[in-house]
Amino acid sequence: MNFHGIIVPIVTPFHSDFSLNVSGLAQLTETLIEQGVSGLVVCGTTGEYYALNEKEREVVLTTVSKVAKGRVTLIAGINDLSTEGAIKRAEQAVSLGYEGLMLAPPPYSLPDQQGVIAHYEQVASATPLPIIMYNFPARIGIEIEYDTVIHLSKVKNIVAIKESSGDFSRALRLLQTQFDNFEVICGCDDQPVDFFFWGAKSWIAGLEMYSQQSKWQFIRPHSKGIGLRRNGSCQKFTLQFIRWNLGIITKKPKRVVSRVLSMLGQLECHFPIFHRNNNVNFSP
């Protein structure tokens, strides 16, 4: 599975009656591919997996697969409250032709680190697909601790961690660790320049749902090992991220992405994230 470059966690569009907008999802998938993304994460946090029933989930996964299969890397989010549920979602991803999985620890139950290890090892042993671990303590309630990452990195089909803690000291420690066949992926939309500077080759980028195609050129050279360009264009790219940081990036990037796309007329969102009659306030 190739997960270098920009991977976008795709949103799930709805009609005004909150039914799935299947044609809108297909068009959004096509647009992202045309913009040059390396891959898509489907039914992740940004895709509101937690608000989808099982039928809707299958429709979303199938729709994106039909458009994108063989063109970009397809990764299915398989988060669930239980390990058994995550395994069933992994099996579904295999049957629909997905190439990889993204998995956080079970939310709400707050497992200790031995429980986290058992969760990942059980899922990994039940699927042939590579797994990207997802460290997002603000949403899950617990962190995948450093020593746990070291332990799980030795599992053959656990290949990376999406680091979304927001703690760059922790991220830097991971980036400077000499892993074997294991990588650290940027999962913070306000830190990609820092991640790339220290050797990361991937960014799972929620805010790239509505960025411009021209930004891809700054990521591709680095994903091939060349590094960030130190010229005026790269400085402009960095300044754009600073503006995002000061302007609209909040602790709720999913809400920001959904609201922006809704304001642009590209989708309707699902309760409880946003309703079109609500007032929109982007104050930090």
Give catalytic residues, as residue numbers: 134, 162
Burial 69-82 (b: 16+ CB within 10 A, else e): eeebbbbbbbbbee
Q: Determine phi and psi for 156, rounding to 5 degrees.
A: -55, -45
DSSP-assigned letters across all residues of 199-257: T--EEE-GGGGGS-GGGHHHHHHHHTT-----SHHHHHHHHHHHHHHHHT--S-HHHHH
Determine the Cα–Cα distance for residues 152 and 130; give it in Å rounded to an integer: 13
- Positive/negative CA dihedral, 35, 38, 41, 45: negative
DSSP 22-70: HHHHHHHHHHHHHHT-SEEEESSTTTTGGG--HHHHHHHHHHHHHHHTT
Point out which residues pair with 129 in neighbouring strands.
none
Evaluate whether 105 touches 142 at the Cβ level (below 8 Å). Answer: yes
How far is the C-alpha of 101 from the C-alpha of 98, rounded, in Å? Answer: 8
- Beta strands 202-204 and 5-9, pairing class: parallel
